[in-house]
Amino acid sequence: MNVLWIVNHDVSPDFGCYGNSQVYTPNLDGLAREGTRFDRAYTTCPVCSPARSGFHTGMYPQSIGAHNHRSHRGDGFRAPGVKTMAERFREAGWHTTFVNGDSVESQSHDLNFEYGRQWDSLDWNERKEGQPFFAFAQLSEPHRDFVSPDEITHPIDPADVVLPPYYADDPIVRRDYADYLNSVEALDTRVGEILQRLEADGLADDTMVFYFADHGRAQFRDKQFLYEGGIHVPMIVRLPGGGLGAGSVVESLVSTIDAAATTLSLAGLEVPTELQGIPFAGAGAKTRERVFSGRDRCDGTIDPMRCVRDGRYKYIRNYQPEKPRSQFNLYKEDKYPGLRRMRKLAEQDALPPEQATFFDPIKPAEELYDLERDPYEFNNLAGRPEYEERLLAMRKQLEQWQDEIGDCGRTPELEEVINYEVAEMRRLAHADGWTDEAISKINDR
């Protein structure tokens, strides 16, 4: 049996099969009808390179030193003993294929560490006769910059967009969110092309397909944050012969780092003991009671936080509550028009409390949410006497997890690395017309 992983950037479960009737996603919806849809899949980090370092290795990025976004650029860093999925399959004698890569030497996987030889070819048909393959497709959609509406067949009218209630009902915000949803259709088209290639080569009936996203949608309260919009991701698995059950839905919690252990198990390979994910199918399958995620430095913006989420509640620990959620980040200031617009509205006191809180000058050290009653995480229960027992229990669960994985976020990053990143962001900001005074004013809010 062969393996195909299809992974894309920056999308939440915003497909038709997940209940979003605004988007046109026939290929992903079809994959869900033929396979199994996971309704509670979560990433280990709400930004690209740490999240990808996690699922490519089956280990938490916070445990292998890959937790600060793109902090190891050509410095040779690699945690001892850490291997990627492609390396493990190559060692087991499988042919490895980078489906949509430019070359087999491509380093475009956005991992936050150096790694060895990954790929044998760019085409699974180049394998030896009878040799199984592990193939990986990396799709950029719907990463910013978003596609133009004229690039798809079913563009969405911004006036019809149903916004999450933490975003302002404003023309600029609507246009930007519609462009995101349009890019989801572009993603669906890319997924369809790969699945059609598999079918045309006569391999669909002998290949397990894993589809999932690295983290949530590229909107400013979602990506880089531990709210549902940042860490809740789509995941669909199709196994030959119906496998887990065609058209079935799994409601139990899974993590993207579980994809590694699950794939190895289903492929009949040994699941190494050092993997921190657990198989949710195949030999030794288990059910999770909770998932964990964390965020650290993103570019020059330092804001470490961790969370644990069980079947109903989520606990978030903010390690620098003195900093605003909206502290300066060049990427977001440049690429997120909705952020700039809502910042203006916040300055004019024109936002309701549930939207304005993102622009508060500080944030709570702890957050606790009942996701069943409060799916958009507006009502922080931390500090309420009736939830003290729940908060203490989840705080302990988080701390135990950090101890178990050896959370690297507890070790301060090298000052020279931080200084380099901050200096680089300021250099780019100045080139874009920002002044230190303007940046400071944003950070001081």
Q: Are 268 and 284 in contact (CB under 8 A)?
A: no
Q: Tell me, what's the pLDDT at 396?
A: 98
> What confidence tens digit (pLDDT) does each residue in 174-211 have?
999 999 999 999 999 999 999 999 999 999 999 999 99
Last residue in a domain, options 244, 266, 289 = 289
Q: Tell me, what's the pLDDT at 432?
A: 66
The answer to whether residues 35 and 141 belong to one domain is: yes
> What confidence tens digit (pLDDT) does each residue in 403-431 have?
999 998 766 665 555 665 666 666 666 66
The answer to whether residues 124 and 254 belong to one domain is: yes
Last residue in a domain, options 233, 267, 289 = 289
Domain span including residue 419: 294-444
The answer to whether residues 117 and 230 belong to one domain is: yes
Last residue in a domain, options 237, 270, 289 = 289
Q: Are 264 and 270 in contact (CB under 8 A)?
A: yes
Q: Is the dihedral of CA 206, 277, 70, 323 positive or negative?
A: positive
Q: What is the CATH number for 174?
A: 3.40.720.10
> What confidence tens digit (pLDDT) does each residue in 327-354 have?
988 888 889 999 999 999 999 999 999 9
The answer to whether residues 269 and 327 belong to one domain is: no
Of all helices (H) and strands (E), which one includes residue 366?
strand 366-370
The answer to whether residues 62 and 24 belong to one domain is: yes
pLDDT at 445 over 90: no
The answer to whether residues 75 and 199 belong to one domain is: yes
- Average confidence (pLDDT) over 11-17: 98
The answer to whether residues 412 and 428 belong to one domain is: yes
Contacts of 84 (CB under 8 A, 6+ apart): 56, 57, 111, 115, 118
The answer to whether residues 212 and 81 belong to one domain is: yes
Report the DSSP pairing between strands 366-370 and 254-255. unpaired
pLDDT at 303 over 50: yes
Q: How many domains does the chain have?
A: 2
- Average confidence (pLDDT) over 365-394: 98
The answer to whether residues 253 and 324 belong to one domain is: no
Strand ranges inside 79-231, DSSP E: 95-98, 133-139, 207-213
What CA–CA distances, in Å, run from 89 to 99, 120, 204, 268?
Answer: 15, 11, 20, 11
The answer to whether residues 326 and 177 belong to one domain is: no
